[in-house]
Amino acid sequence: MASLNPVNYGTPRRSSDTQITLEIDGQSVTVPQGTSVMRAAIESGIEVPKLCASDMLEPFGSCRLCLVEIEGRKGYPASCTTEVSEGMQVATQTDKLNQIRRGVVELYLSDHPGESLTPEGHGDDELLELADRLDVTEVRYNKGRNHQLATVDGSNPYFDFDASRCIVCSRCVRACNEVQGTFALTVDGRGFASMISAGTDDDNFLSSECVSCGACIQACPTEALIEKDVVEMGMPERSVTTTCAYCGVGCSFNAELKGDEVVRMVPAKQGKANQGHSCVKGRFAWGYTNHPDRITKPMVRDKITDPWREVSWDEAIAFSVDKINGIREQYGSGALGAITSSRCTNEETFLVQKLARAVFNTNNVDTCARVCHSPTGYGLNSTFGTSAGTQDFVSVEKCDVILVIGANPTDAHPVFGSQMKRRLRQGARLIVCDPRAIDLVRSPHVQADYHLQLRPGTNVALVNSMAHTILSEGLENRVFVEERCDMDEYDGWREFILRDENSPENTEQYTGVPASMVREAARLYATGGNGAIYYGLGVTEHSQGSTMVMGMANIAMATGNIGRPGMGVNPLRGQNNVQGSCDMGSFPHELPGYRHVSDQNVRDIFEKEWGVTIGSEPGLRIPNMIDAATAGTFKGLYVQGEDILQSDPNIKHIAAGLAAMECVIIQDIFLNETASYAHVFLPGSTFLEKDGTFTNAERRINRVRKIQTAPAGYADWEITQLLAQALGYPMNYSHPSEIMDEIARTTPTFKGVSFDKIDALGSVQWPCNDDNPEGTPVMHVDTFVRGKGKFMLTPFVPTEERANRKFPLLLTTGRILSQYNVGAQTRRTANRLWHAEDWLEVHPSDAEMRGIKDGTLVAVASRMGETTLRAKVSERMTPGVVYTTFHFPETAANVVTTEFSDWATECPEYKVTAVEVRPCNTMSEWQRRYIDTREKQQQIESEQSVRDPDSVAAGFDAGDKEWEPAE
């Protein structure tokens, strides 16, 4: 159980080898040098009144409430801005101090409504709490000029700003600046006219640069900034700590409840990944968990053209078992497969791959992680010996040079993006490699030293040219290489890299990046101090994704930027449990812990544990399953929490494969696009409705704790267990902790992991074993996991997807702050207010050539298909490159993406699609029929609930145009 009111120590914790001893109110206190008097007092259990002070912010000293008396000093210094010194004697409670404090509080109350916005006492208003504590019961000042008629800014869908309650303590401004780094707020005016301003003509939060991270609300001491839900529902009564289910940062939150109803999600200060910060998604966009679109009862149908029938759990499971057994008897186990989810817990993912291997008797299991970060696993395992990032997030605080490649941290991983921006404001240097000018290239108080704006598909050429510069100019760390790496492999790599084909002057023709800029950036990375690489899907989702990961590992080893805080090679994982789904054995060739199915010793471990025989040959990946389905040999698929019809490339082919199957079982919270082809729908659970763990991008295993009961009655792990039991396999767990115990018994990197240990430590980073009983924040410290680091040859092979006369532009894709993945969750929240549809960013020169203006409806056509969306003319792109997001199913961005994929892992090449863009005045045929279908579905649902046995959920017809929605 988390605390509803965590202690506010007033100023941040300081670290120092020097300890200072002082006396506070007669009590001896020892703290690190640099600690404030306020923090020293509060850590010792001595409360000091305060309003402008927060342990999330640097000391400010404006409220005049934390005054203390210090022997030998005149006056009453502010304890928040006064550092401790040896032998100091401090008094925090004297008659004079209390008199001053009461007077200050009375002055504040003279321009304050005097009561909380909630009926529960003083609510979140620290000023009213102080008034109670100091026994300030009346205000002696006449009501002169005041701000009590100020209007409330309710423009933001999640919170209000009531200027009548504001004391201009600047905590919100400082939180926006210091914690979030957006600098959206300011204090406008002087004296009585001083007010917090959002800095826009409309002067409201919605039209400002505010990103709705919630830092200002968390900082506000007077309810001037307050969540609308708190005003409506009242103050929460209890709190449970859990983990956010959005991106791979893995933020810890305190879910605060009133009764059994969630009132708000507050970022946990003890969260080791987020350290008390949050973003708009994790902080506010959790309302989808109670959205009326949720399916709450199982449904089945014999054919995808039939109406759904609502049934009991027993009937749904029996229906599924009959279908699965029928397929197995007629076609064999190879005709069955499963897909795990990167949104579900480790324990749930582990059970799905176990279901495939131990119950279906097949290695046909894959995960959505393959379509994003599987090249990370392959590339880092080949070079370092493990398939994960090398550092913890806090390591960025020791970076001197940050190299961001194919990632957009401020949009896709915003909490870590804020942490990165803090380090940049402190003086770290920045190199951005991206076809698009992401916010980090230039934003308030942050500017990249170099933006290498390369052409999509040329990552490998760029990293090879950087390596060429490092070696040809003698910038490598020869001592590190000789001590830590395989020298034969290094010599071969060195000979390859120093070829003229890899020089910046030669690769410029492919990348479009001036050779001089490449050389300067490479010199900075090699010689600028601690250098860390952070990368995302702009690296992995290419035909040479694995090659590029190895290329980044090569330059990290060559410069010695590995094995210590402030450096390393760090993938920014997209979904909340992408790392975990990979760890849990979701790939057809690997058992949990990244061990190949061909290894008899590994199979022996699981065969003994599970009591079955496991095949030694890898199974089918998702593309192989779809190919086999269209060929008539793959017939049954169990999908937990994944929507391949929206998220995978070439969705016409995906639709054809799904339509050819005899049994598709979807387990999810909403009727997603893939469910249009399903025969069984099993209603799943959200992160608020289950126990378990997520593993974030820094290998941190965080607890997920059940807050409320799933409306359908079961958590996802329980549903998988029900299916296994009905199929005759003894899968009998009473709690997810028992599943984690099995993972620990069978997987060496998880040997020391347990729910009890995570609860005790807060979180654990694998590997956690006998050598590292409390986990491993930084990997490869003294030696690489594989022993010697291995340099890999990385020849640049241009993608087969090329711009040509018919399709002269290159389309690349990415994400936006307010939406998440395929949008199933965020589209069902007020986040739609910021991003209600996908847009196509087009460079002004390309737009002018085609007669395109802002807001123009355009057709985007490739050799695979066509879709339409609105254009946004933007100089973020270079001429010849266009960009869109993929958050809305009606956009169907993957209608146009191709079948090309990474050579090693079949991760799709989402980032390079040759297209043409032209103005149009109608939606594409696909979209028109999609919207028509949805309108028919909504009409049916309004007349007859989808939960009625006779209702219909729209499906897709697999006739002559198998990719189109059914009539």
pLDDT of 540-556, one tens digit each?
Answer: 888 899 999 999 999 99
Q: Which distant-in-sequence residues (6+ apart) come within 8 Å of 342 by Cβ?
A: 367, 368, 369, 372, 574, 575, 576, 577, 578, 580, 581, 642
CA 572, CA 536: separation in Å to the nearest integer? 5
Question: How many domains in the chain?
Answer: 5
pLDDT at site 965? 31
H helices present in 778-865, as ranges: 844-850
CA 423, CA 443: separation in Å to the nearest integer? 14
**How many Å separate Cα 574 from the centre of its chain?**
5
CA distances in angstroms from 307 to 273, 664, 754, 948, listed in the order given: 45, 15, 45, 10
pLDDT at site 967? 28
CA 899, CA 197: separation in Å to the nearest integer? 50
332 with 361, same domain: the answer is: yes
Q: What is the pLDDT of residues 480-495, one digit of tens each?
A: 999 999 999 999 999 9
Whether residue 912 is contained in a domain is answered as yes
Given a cut of 60, whether residue 702 has pLDDT beyond it is yes
67 with 159, same domain: the answer is: no
- Provide the pLDDT confidence category of residue 144 given band limits of 50, 70 and 90: confident
Residue whose token pair is 């490092």: 470
Q: In what order do the strands lie in the sheet with 225-227?
A: 152-153, 159-162, 225-227
For residue 344, give the 3-state DSSP assignment: coil
Lowest mean pLDDT of 834-838, 850-854, 956-960, name the range.
956-960
With helix as H, strand as E and coil as C, how does 16-36 read?
A: CCCEEEEEECCEEEEEECCCE
393 with 482, same domain: the answer is: yes
Given a cut of 60, whether residue 399 has pLDDT beyond it is yes
Q: Which of 761, 776, 801 is the last residue of a domain?
A: 761
Q: Which of 241, 264, 290 is the last residue of a domain?
A: 290
CA 285, CA 288: separation in Å to the nearest integer? 7
Q: Which of 536, 571, 606 is the last residue of a domain?
A: 571
Residue with the larger pLDDT of the pair 296 and 373: 296
Burial of residue 892 (number of CB atoms within 10 Å: 0-12, 13-18, 19+) = buried
- What is the percent of the chain with per-residue pLDDT over 90, rounded to a whole number? 80
Given a cut of 80, whether residue 963 has pLDDT beyond it is no
397 with 529, same domain: the answer is: yes
CA 622, CA 653: separation in Å to the nearest integer? 12
CA 742, CA 654: separation in Å to the nearest integer? 35
Cβ 934 vs Cβ 944: under 8 Å: no
> Quick one: which of 728, 619, 718 has its CA closest to 337?
619
Domain residues for 513? 374-571
CA 939, CA 657: separation in Å to the nearest integer? 29
As a whole number, the mean pLDDT across the chain is 91
Whether residue 749 is contained in a domain is answered as yes
Residue with the larger pLDDT of the pair 103 and 121: 103
Q: What is the pLDDT of residues 457-511, one digit of tens each?
A: 999 999 999 999 999 999 999 999 999 999 999 999 999 999 999 999 999 999 9
CA 886, CA 892: separation in Å to the nearest integer? 7
- Provide the pLDDT confidence category of residue 964 given band limits of 50, 70 and 90: very low
Given a cut of 90, whether residue 139 has pLDDT beyond it is no
Cβ 295 vs Cβ 274: under 8 Å: no
Whether residue 789 is contained in a domain is answered as no
558 with 669, same domain: the answer is: no
Q: What is the pLDDT of residues 746-757, one digit of tens each?
A: 999 999 999 999
H helices present in 337-385, as ranges: 346-354, 374-383
Q: What is the pLDDT of residues 288-322, one digit of tens each?
A: 999 999 999 999 999 999 999 999 999 999 999 99
Residue whose token pair is 């100023």: 11
Q: Which distant-in-sequence residues (6+ apart) come within 8 Å of 690 by Cβ?
A: 345, 348, 704, 706, 710, 715, 716, 717, 736
Q: What is the pLDDT of residues 321-364, one digit of tens each?
A: 999 999 999 999 999 999 999 999 999 999 999 999 999 999 99
Tokens found for residue 478: 């020869």
Q: For residue 956, how many other CB atoms are within 10 A of its CB? A: 25
126 with 251, same domain: the answer is: no
- Provide the pLDDT confidence category of residue 400 given band limits of 50, 70 and 90: very high
pTM for this prediction: 0.92
CATH of the domain at 903: 2.40.40.20
Burial of residue 507 (number of CB atoms within 10 Å: 0-12, 13-18, 19+) = buried
> Quick one: which of 415, 420, 421, 460 has its CA closest to 443?
421
Torsion of CA 583, 586, 588, 592, to 10 degrees: 40
The average pLDDT across 805-826 equals 90
CA 251, CA 267: separation in Å to the nearest integer? 7
Burial of residue 851 (number of CB atoms within 10 Å: 0-12, 13-18, 19+) = exposed
Given a cut of 80, whether residue 936 has pLDDT beyond it is no
- Provide the pLDDT confidence category of residue 937 given band limits of 50, 70 and 90: low
Beta-sheet strands, E only, within 526-591: 531-535, 568-571, 590-591
- Provide the pLDDT confidence category of residue 952 given band limits of 50, 70 and 90: very low
Q: Phi then psi for 127, rounded to 5 degrees? A: -65, -45
- Provide the pLDDT confidence category of residue 954 given band limits of 50, 70 and 90: very low
CA distances in angstroms from 122 to 536, 674, 871, listed in the order given: 45, 49, 49
- Provide the pLDDT confidence category of residue 774 given band limits of 50, 70 and 90: very high
CA angle 267, 670, 536 (to 5 degrees): 55
pLDDT at site 934? 60
635 with 741, same domain: the answer is: yes
Lowest mean pLDDT of 162-176, 198-212, 656-670, name the range.
198-212
Whether residue 963 is contained in a domain is answered as no
Tokens found for residue 537: 């899907």
Whether residue 827 is contained in a domain is answered as yes
705 with 656, same domain: the answer is: yes
CATH of the domain at 175: 3.30.70.20
Residue whose token pair is 């990348």: 511
The average pLDDT across 652-680 equals 94
Tokens found for residue 220: 């506000």
Given a cut of 70, whether residue 1 has pLDDT beyond it is no
CA 174, CA 216: separation in Å to the nearest integer? 8
For residue 400, give the 3-state DSSP assignment: coil
pLDDT at site 940? 45
Cβ 872 vs Cβ 854: under 8 Å: yes
**How many Å separate Cα 131 from the centre of its chain?**
41
Cβ 180 vs Cβ 173: under 8 Å: no
Tokens found for residue 958: 């697999």
754 with 613, same domain: the answer is: yes
381 with 358, same domain: the answer is: no
Cβ 415 vs Cβ 279: under 8 Å: yes
Q: DSSP secondary structure string, 66-125?
A: SB-EETT--S--BTTTPBP-TT-EEE---HHHHHHHHHHHHHHHTTS-SS-SSSSTTTT-
Q: Phi then psi for 839, rounded to 5 degrees? A: -120, 155
CATH of the domain at 685: 3.40.50.740
pLDDT at site 152? 92
Whether residue 286 is contained in a domain is answered as yes
pLDDT at site 444? 86
CA distances in angstroms from 430 to 289, 512, 645, listed in the order given: 39, 20, 38
Longest Cα separation, the chain: 92
CA 8, CA 316: separation in Å to the nearest integer? 51
Residue whose token pair is 């912010």: 57
- Provide the pLDDT confidence category of residue 897 given band limits of 50, 70 and 90: confident
Whether residue 944 is contained in a domain is answered as yes
Strands 866-873 and 857-861: antiparallel
184 with 108, same domain: the answer is: no
pLDDT at site 510? 96
750 with 627, same domain: the answer is: yes
pLDDT at site 415? 96
Whether residue 959 is contained in a domain is answered as no
Given a cut of 70, whether residue 567 has pLDDT beyond it is yes
- Provide the pLDDT confidence category of residue 928 given band limits of 50, 70 and 90: low
